[in-house]
Chain A
């Protein structure tokens, strides 16, 4: 089980922003979980990133300054 951070935007002139996170067994499940858990907006783009793939710059102990579970 991995934690995936979810990023999305509603319009092309918006930047991607962090909207939350999901727990999933693999990338494919992370996709569908992100899409169904964070479905309150009409996103034009959404992507997920495994939390453990993010390299922290400011926190050398690798803790992310992101909300999530």
Chain B
């Protein structure tokens, strides 16, 4: 992997974690049970912490400006998994995000765990350790919902959308990562939910920097809240 490709991949991981942090944080309220609210808040904090770690690496190795990456960049430059571009419609979307999108980034970070860049190696180990709890949460809820015929179809549809989105983000050379992710999910509840096969995306117009096909970006409203635009006047220098 070229030096720039590695930088862009880390930015894509940080962007996805930033949006994950936003959605987990927003779902501190509205979860089906109190413990899930506390867990969601905690997952949000972990993702935001990981963004800081990744941005510190990007600054040290490539002199990227963390402030610019979050605050001033055009939203069309965000390289997050597209499932996170819009608000989550319901708890099925949340669980699909948890079990697919969160674990998709973790898979990529796992592939970087033996990086020759020491800062990546050390910080990825810490992130992977924390991600164990994210996996427990996603799998626990996936299994619970898969067992309920009233919830199964919505979970299946949301999971298929999340998987399709992750498949595009992984890119044309990493069908293996997408297949491994689908196998993980099929393994959580083998008899419960049939998640349909991934459609093969047309990668002809895939952008390796934004990791998207034909554009797309997080909604303005989401970035407004994420950046704290309304309260920018109170920002400490």
A residues within 8 Å of B by Cβ? Answer: 22-26, 28-29, 31-33, 35-37, 39
Instruction: Find out whether the CB atom of B133 lies under 8 angstroms from the CB atom of A23.
Output: no
Q: Would A26 and B38 be within 8 Å (CB), given that A32-B133, A35-B133, A36-B133 are in contact?
A: no
Closest 4 CB pairs of A and B: A29-B140, A36-B42, A28-B140, A33-B35
The verdict on A28 contacting B133 (CB below 8 Å), with A33-B38, A36-B38, A36-B42 known, is no
Determine whether B39 belongs to the interface, using a CB cutoff of 8 Å to chain A. yes
Chain B contact patch, size range:
10 to 19
Residues in A whose Cβ lies below 8 Å from that of B34: 23
B interface residues with partner A (beta carbon < 8 Å): 33-36, 38-39, 41-43, 133, 136-137, 139-141, 143-144
- Main SS class of interface, B: helix
A-B contact pairs, 12 of them (CB 8 A): A22-B35, A25-B140, A25-B144, A28-B140, A29-B137, A31-B133, A31-B140, A32-B39, A33-B35, A33-B39, A36-B38, A37-B39
Inter-subunit contact B143/A28 (CB<8 Å): yes
Minimum CB–CB distance from A10 to chain B (whole Å) comes to 18
Nearest chain B CB to A5's CB is how many angstroms away? 14
Select one of A26, A33, A37 contacting B144, CB under 8 A: A26
B125 to chain A, nearest CB (A): 17
Which among A31, A35, A36, A37 has the highest number of chain B CB atoms within 10 Å? A36
Q: How far is the CA of A23 from the CA of B237 in the complex (A)?
A: 43
Closest chain B residue to A28, Cβ basis: B140
For the A-B complex with A25-B144, A26-B140, A36-B133 known, give 17 more contacts whose Cβ atoms are closer than 8 Å: A24-B35, A24-B140, A25-B140, A25-B141, A26-B143, A28-B136, A29-B136, A31-B133, A31-B136, A32-B133, A32-B137, A33-B35, A35-B133, A36-B39, A36-B41, A36-B42, A39-B42
Shortest beta-carbon distance from B132 to chain A in Å: 9
- How distant is the Cα of A53 from the Cα of B138 in the complex, in angstroms? 25
Among B35, B139, B141, B144, max chain A CB count under 10 A is at: B35
A30 to B140, CA, bound (A): 9
